[in-house]
Amino acid sequence: MDTMETERIIEESERELAEQFRCLERVAYANQCKVMEAFQKNKIALRHFAASSGYGYGDEGRDTLNALFADIFGAEAALVSPNILSGTHALTVGLFGLLRTGDVLFSISGEPYDTLQEVIGGKDIGSLADYGIRFKKCELIEGEFNFDSIRSGLADKAVKVVFIQRSRGYEWRDALSEEKIRKACEFVRSCGFTGCIFVDNCYGEFVETTEPTQNGADVCVGSLIKNAGGGVAPTGGYIVGKRDYIDKIAGRLTAPSIGAEVGSYAYGYQYFYEGVFLAPHVVCQALKGGLLIGACLEKLGYKTSPSVQSAPYDITRAIRFNTRDELIGFIQAVQEASPVDSYVNLEPWDMPGYQEQVIMAAGTFVQGASIELSADAPVKEPYIAYFQGGLTYEHCRYALTKILKKIRKQ
């Protein structure tokens, strides 16, 4: 495929996507307004960016950042910390803070993401199972909640946490919309469940105008090197929700006797504040870029999920390839189009926490930041790649020119 043909396909797709782009921009504006109101309510000032050390007693930057996130997510309280190392870590801290021996964790969205498997059921590694916490699940049916199975599962009074994974993980399904999450939460409550509804919100922040904690969830968690960090936060994660639950989780993040009263950060908090300020715009850029890539690949005969005709509910797009070489070629093209480590020749490897060999493109400024242009895939049939992120639409468009040339050559 030559340069002129590549540009023709891209420009044609952009014209066809114009109205969807406008819809995404309206969502971004609504979210930007929400974020701005939270900044103003909490009277964010330069002093909140200051570094702290030691125990961090009275750390105003930390405490105000927590309050800011709580307001943005429509929650009572929040934990936002550079000491939460990833989305999986945030989930782990949250679940261990809420569950006790004899309790049941009940996933109503099927099997959790790969990196959570050992957290739940590993043996002799400090997993939930090692502490006598059981896990059960019910599968989605064609991307929809199975309400009969949910009702049946909730008959077990040992269920203390109902778990929902918003994003697809390594599955061929659409992410869950806020409307679906709201209906699921309402149904769970209608069954008489009084425990915690817990949402893995990774990849979903600011994609719609509301968040799970505004739609019936008691707790939701995510990573700051995904959406909520706006591509600026260098590390960290967040946990937001009802105060009683957040207090319990804080006791697990630090220690039960001190909770959220301690925690310092010697590098200062500016990038966490700045990141969440930028997040609505950056998420919009990633969504537009993902739509464009999906539209162009669909024109070439590849299946993508969600389809271009559907609204995206997270920043991830799954693309099904015909062969192993096509899959690897796609991931390599994303790396070659990256601003960092573009020269690296990627190969599949045994990545910690994953069941299969994985190939991952992450030529990012922040290591592994999937709000930046990135892609990964388990190298197995069916050959599905998972593309996400993009700090700017222009970078996504540039990468697409490389991708189209690479996969057509393959």
Q: Where are the domains of the chain?
A: 3-30+277-409, 50-268
pLDDT at 302 over 70: yes
pLDDT score for 350: 87
pLDDT at 7 over 70: yes
pLDDT score for 406: 84
The mean pLDDT value for 116-137 works out to 97
Regarding the domain with residue range 3-30+277-409, which homologous superfamily does it belong to in the CATH classification?
Methioning gamme-lyase, C-terminal domain (3.90.1150.60)
Q: Does domain 50-268 have CATH number 3.90.920.10?
A: no
pLDDT at 1 over 80: no
Q: Record the tokens describing residue 310, joined without a space.
A: 């559907």
Residues 282 and 390: their CA atoms lie apart, in Å, by 8
Residues 290 and 374: their CA atoms lie apart, in Å, by 11
Helix (H) or strand (E) segment spanning residue 35: helix 18-41
pLDDT at 408 over 80: no
pLDDT band for position 3 (cuts 50, 70, 90): confident
pLDDT digits (tens, 9 = 90+) for 233-253: 999 999 999 999 999 999 999
pLDDT score for 407: 76
Are 395 and 373 in contact by the 8 Å Cβ rule? The answer is yes
pLDDT at 50 over 80: yes
pLDDT at 280 over 70: yes
Does the CA dihedral 226-339-397-277 come out positive or negative?
A: positive
Residues 357 and 383: their CA atoms lie apart, in Å, by 12
Strand bridging mode 159-165 / 104-107: parallel
The mean pLDDT value for 86-109 works out to 98
pLDDT score for 410: 64
Specify the pTM.
Answer: 0.96
pLDDT digits (tens, 9 = 90+) for 328-358: 999 999 999 999 999 999 999 887 777 789 9
The mean pLDDT value for 14-29 works out to 98
Mean pLDDT taken over the chain:
95
pLDDT score for 386: 94
The length of the chain is 410
DSSP 288-324: HHHHHHHHHHHHTT-EEES-TTSPPSSSEEEEEESSH
The mean pLDDT value for 219-231 works out to 98
